[in-house]
A = this chain, B = another copy of it.
Amino acid sequence: MTTLDDVARHVGVTSATVSNVITGKGSVSESTRRRVLAAVEELGYQPNLVARSLAQKKTLTLALIVPTIANPFYAEIAEEIEHTAWRHGYQLILCNTFRDRSRGQERLKALSRRWIDGLLMMGGSLSVVDLLAATRFGQRRLPMVLCIPCEEELATGLSMVDLDYWYAGELAAQHLVSLGHHRLAIIVEYPGHAPRLEGFRAALAASGIDLPPDSIQYGDSTMQSGYQATRTLLSLPTPPTALFATNDLMALGAMEAALDEGLTLPDDLSVVGLDDIMIGAHMHPPLTTIATPKHELAKQAVELLLRHIDDAESPSLSLTVRPHLIVRQTTAPQQKEADG
């Protein structure tokens, strides 16, 4: 384990000089510069990041907090975030909270001791109280951006990158309405996904279609809940001919339930999801969904965070990314019905 001093001694200069050539700061004569570089090579010197971090109060480390990386949606975003972070020279510490408050707090506390440069938080990972506490680590301010905040996180005043979920709901409704459906249902995580519901409802209203209470079912973003909600919907006196699940996992659960009921997709029931997780495209039939542009989302989030890191005075910003509809094969025109 060679240190700066080793290199310096080997060349016959001082460690400050070696530091200068390595960081590219200060000015060094071309000749010593070359000798230093040669020595670095020869001794296989690697700068020690922890020493540097201590001296500069900068760790080149970001943390990403997610509810659970086992959810493919978060995993796919995490991959993009990791990628973007590394491109900017930052490493990523991964934290799962399992949506558990005490766990989240622990994680945060541990992070605060290690002087991460910034924090990226997926919405719903932490309680809002903990979240706000997190913005101040000791006395110093922790740069942080919220990625896809949930309802109650919107008022925190933090920087955030969100998807235009209201628009997503609108897209889903418009697509379904354009196919001639008028008995629609929604499976929604509430209140987390409220804007999706509202966008959906508003677009329906604009087409003169009502969304009765019965046709709004609640889930918790898992397949299981999508499955259950769909069983309930299908057992209604007049079951829906089309449904929108506010995330893909619930949509997959819905498909499963419909198939278990012996229905044919999409003829007997149209299903629209939201997220565009990889696997959705490979279901049978492939899932029609409102896609989250994950690469863009990650890019915006990381770059916004870096802006906060580089400039502590940089004001809080709210960015919004627009989703788009991907029509695959779980949606079809409304069939003729017996009872108009």
Chain A residues packing against B (C-beta within 8 Å): 1-2, 44-51, 53-54, 59, 61, 64, 68-70, 72, 75-76, 78-79, 82-83, 86, 91-96, 106-107, 109-115, 137-140, 223, 227, 252-253, 255-256, 259-260, 278-279, 282-284
B1 with A46: CB separation less than 8 A: no
Q: Which residue of B has the minimal Cβ distance to A58?
A: B50
Contacts of A95 in B (CB 8 A): 82, 86, 91
Which of B138, B140, B284 has a CB less than 8 Å from the CB of A284? B284
Q: Which residue of B has the minimal Cβ distance to A92?
A: B94
A49-B115, A70-B75 known, 7 other contacts, Cβ within 8 Å: A44-B138, A48-B115, A50-B53, A68-B79, A86-B106, A93-B93, A93-B94
B93 with A92: CB separation less than 8 A: yes
Contacts of A113 in B (CB 8 A): 46-49
Contacts of A138 in B (CB 8 A): 1-2, 44-46
Contacts of A47 in B (CB 8 A): 113
Contacts of A83 in B (CB 8 A): 96
Q: How far is the CB of A110 from chain B (nearest CB, A)?
A: 6
Contacts of A72 in B (CB 8 A): 70, 72, 75, 279
A-B contact list, 30 entries, CB within 8 Å: A2-B138, A44-B138, A46-B109, A46-B113, A47-B113, A49-B113, A54-B54, A64-B94, A69-B79, A70-B72, A70-B76, A72-B72, A72-B75, A78-B94, A79-B96, A82-B94, A82-B96, A86-B106, A86-B107, A86-B110, A91-B111, A92-B94, A93-B94, A223-B279, A252-B279, A252-B282, A255-B284, A256-B284, A283-B283, A284-B284
Contacts of A86 in B (CB 8 A): 95, 106-107, 110
Q: How far is the CB of A237 from chain B (nearest CB, A)?
A: 26
Complex CA distance for A264 and B53, rounded to whole angstroms: 60
Contacts of A69 in B (CB 8 A): 69, 75, 78-79, 82
